[in-house]
Structure 1
Amino acid sequence: MIRVQYFICINLIAQYLIESGNMAEIILVHGIDQQFKSAQALKAEWLPKLSQGLRAAGYGELADQVWKGTGKPPAITVEMAFYGDQFIIKNQQGAAPGELSAEQVDLMEGLATEWLINIANRSSNSTMKAEAVRLSALIEPRYEEVQGLRSLARGVVANLAKVPGVATVGMAFAERAVNTSLSQVSRYLTDVGVRDFAMASIEKLVTEDTKVIIAHSLGSVVAYEAMHRLNQKIPLLITIGSPLGFRSVIYEKLKPQPPSFPKNLKKWVNIADPNDYVAAQPDLSQDFAKGIPQDSIFEGNQVVNNDIDPHSAEKYLASSKVGLYLAEAFNANLSY
């Protein structure tokens, strides 16, 4: 009887650890505009796509282990690091420039400008490209016309919201949606409390069992900075749709400075769709080449085609390229 109770107790403890995320082999990190969701809701959205990417890469059994929890060996544990609720502002659906500091508004203006220029230079959508070219040409003259940083920030954000396809909501709410996205990036970079909470959401999930961290959009910034604080060595970091390389807005605000390859990381793969204007550029190789350990690998220039939704986390996860790198981490036993 005692022996039976012992094994029941062990199984209950193991189940608790899995459900609480303390044994996560794969850690997922979301990006902007997830403030009204939850870790479990996002995980439920991402897992089928992650499984799809593994199947596309030819790893059906591994796909079942990740999503359905079936197959042999047993289920692979996956957890979502969630920090989106840190951006919720009481009695408000976003953050307008007036509620932000001058530094935060400055960052919003700079990022909006970078996004416009990215669309103008890289978009394969002729309608988006033409409008972005037209609107980006207005930035400098507008700077001379307005008085004060806050007016300029609102002007650039409004112009960005006019580009077809930038906001997924109707035009009546487009500026609010873009404004919310930009404000979340600026708040992460300037608010110590938000920044620490976001990094801690990853750090608390990391154990010796962790093999892969997959981070999207702003989440890639959070994951990159968390990697520099971790004592735990991580076999693989996959960043998708990453804005890490925006020089004047994000790159120069990263911690620590100057930006470098995290010393406790075995392999870093950056994947981007060339049409993804939120991603600084498809290739991060030069920006983070400093300090790569002799036995570490950096593939900073992997490209995918996400079709009409280039920044979609789900599109990235469903790609065979993400599936191949994820399978490598498990099948090749990529570790120190």
Structure 2
Amino acid sequence: MGARKAGHSSQGSALARQDSVEAVFAYYGDLFMRPMAQGGFTPLVNVGEAEAFRQLLGDVIDTHLDTRSDEGERRILQHARVELTATQQAQGSGDLVRRLVNVCTTLLALPGVRRGGQWASSRLMAGHLAQVTRYLARSEADHDGRTLDERIRSRLLSFLHEDRPTVVIAHSLGSVVALEALHHYQGSIPLLVTVGSPIGMRTVVHPRLLPQPPATPNCVHRWLNFWDRDDIIAPRPRLERAILPNAAGCLPLTDRVDSDGIWVHTATKYLAQASVAGPVMEALRLRAAGDGGPG
């Protein structure tokens, strides 16, 4: 739909059929599964993980309090802040996790979060958000000693082909994964698109990125970053203020999109925007014309 809005109807149809390009989805959600986990929420297992998650929620709440003027939204955020402060008196990881799930219940009342389907419950919301802190913990090693974040980056890199240019679209935590993984990539990325990115979160995400200080990978020629005001995961969207340029001077360029307010965080919601899909289709067209087809 976004390609059609941007005037690339035929290219969009060809992309869906994979007539001229290879489109792949680098899925790594299975790597977050823990043995004996029940339901859609994989519980935090220790106080350290829960504390990092508490800090992440605090960054989300405080940033939205700084940027939102609607009184109803501010009341919701202020209530969530009071609940979050109360978590500091929690006894043990189990009590802390329960209180943090209650904070997520409050945040679900925000516009753009309360309606729509991906987070049907506060436990599911907490489970998804906690994936960010679990990735950045650099722990959960497998029997070969590879930490969770290493395995996720390896999964992403396995989908890239250094013998041909590749356009990368990275969503949410995927933007963190892509930023780190592409520093180890020797191929060419003519366009990196990030949507709903938490990279700019100052407390939990930005200071834990590798390498430090965070910079655009040298393989990236152009980086476009998009955010929606109602996207709770992208509270500090201006990544150009948080990322250093690469050797060629490339920095992320941020633009805002406005969806219909019904669960705006999904990648499909972003890609339905002409301003997001248009540059992607143009990059694919240029690379196909010059190189016989990008990945």
- TM-score w.r.t. the length of structure 2 is 0.82
Given candidates 272, 279, 293, the residue that maps to 1:325 is 279
Inter-CA distance 298–273: structure 2 relative to 1 (3 Å threshold): same
Inter-CA distance 231–178: structure 2 relative to 1 (3 Å threshold): same
Given candidates 233, 238, 247, the residue that maps to 1:283 is 238
2:255 is paired with a residue whose SS is strand
What is the CA distance between 1:143 and its match in structure 2?
5.5
What is the CA distance between 1:67 and its match in structure 2?
0.7
2:222 is paired with a residue whose SS is strand
| Post-superposition CA distance 1:213-242 (Å, at most 9, x none) | 001001111111111111112111100000
Given candidates 16, 21, 44, the residue that maps to 1:67 is 16
Stretches of structure 2 that go unaligned for 5 or more consecutive residues are: 140-145
| Distance in structure 1 (CA, Å) of the matches to 2:29 and 2:154 | 13
Give the match for residue 217 of structure 1: 172
Inter-CA distance 330–95: structure 2 relative to 1 (3 Å threshold): closer
The structure with more radius of gyration: 1
Matched, 1:158 2:111: no
Give the match for residue 105 of structure 1: 50
| Distance in structure 1 (CA, Å) of the matches to 2:266 and 2:156 | 21
Give the match for residue 260 of structure 2: 307
1:234 is paired with a residue whose SS is coil
Check conservation: 2:59, 2:202, Cα contact below 8 A: no
- TM-score w.r.t. the length of structure 1 is 0.73
Give the match for residue 177 of structure 1: 124
What is the CA distance between 1:125 and its match in structure 2?
6.9
Stretches of structure 1 that go unaligned for 5 or more consecutive residues are: 1-51
Where in structure 2 are the equivalents of 1:121-132 lying within 5 Å? 121-122=66-67, 127-132=72-77
Check conservation: 2:196, 2:227, Cα contact below 8 A: yes
1:330 is paired with a residue whose SS is helix
| Post-superposition CA distance 1:285-327 (Å, at most 9, x none) | 1100x24323x53343211012212212111011101112112
| Distance in structure 2 (CA, Å) of the matches to 1:220 and 1:267 | 14
Identity rate of aligned residues, in percent? 27
Where in structure 2 are the equivalents of 1:1-336 lying within 5 Å? 52-69=1-18, 74-91=19-36, 92-93=38-39, 94-97=41-44, 99=45, 101-122=46-67, 127-140=72-85, 142=86, 145-147=89-91, 151-152=95-96, 154-163=98-107, 164-165=109-110, 166=113, 174-190=121-137, 191=139, 193-207=147-161, 208-288=163-243, 290-294=244-248, 296-308=249-261, 309-333=263-287
| Distance in structure 1 (CA, Å) of the matches to 2:32 and 2:72 | 32
Inter-CA distance 306–118: structure 2 relative to 1 (3 Å threshold): farther
What amino acid is aligned across from residue 279 of structure 1 in structure 2? A
1:79 is paired with a residue whose SS is coil
| Post-superposition CA distance 1:13-56 (Å, at most 9, x none) | xxxxxxxxxxxxxxxxxxxxxxxxxxxxxxxxxxxxxxx11111
What is the CA distance between 1:145 and its match in structure 2?
4.2
1:78 is paired with a residue whose SS is coil
What amino acid is aligned across from residue 208 of structure 2 in structure 1? K
What amino acid is aligned across from residue 103 of structure 2 in structure 1? N
What amino acid is aligned across from residue 60 of structure 1 in structure 2? S
1:265 is paired with a residue whose SS is coil
2:204 is paired with a residue whose SS is coil
What is the CA distance between 1:126 and its match in structure 2?
5.8
Inter-CA distance 107–53: structure 2 relative to 1 (3 Å threshold): same
| Post-superposition CA distance 1:49-99 (Å, at most 9, x none) | xxx111111011210111134xxxx432100001100112233222223x2
CA RMSD of aligned residues (A): 2.7
Check conservation: 2:196, 2:226, Cα contact below 8 A: yes
| Distance in structure 2 (CA, Å) of the matches to 1:160 and 1:313 | 21
1:162 is paired with a residue whose SS is helix
Check conservation: 1:284, 1:301, Cα contact below 8 A: yes
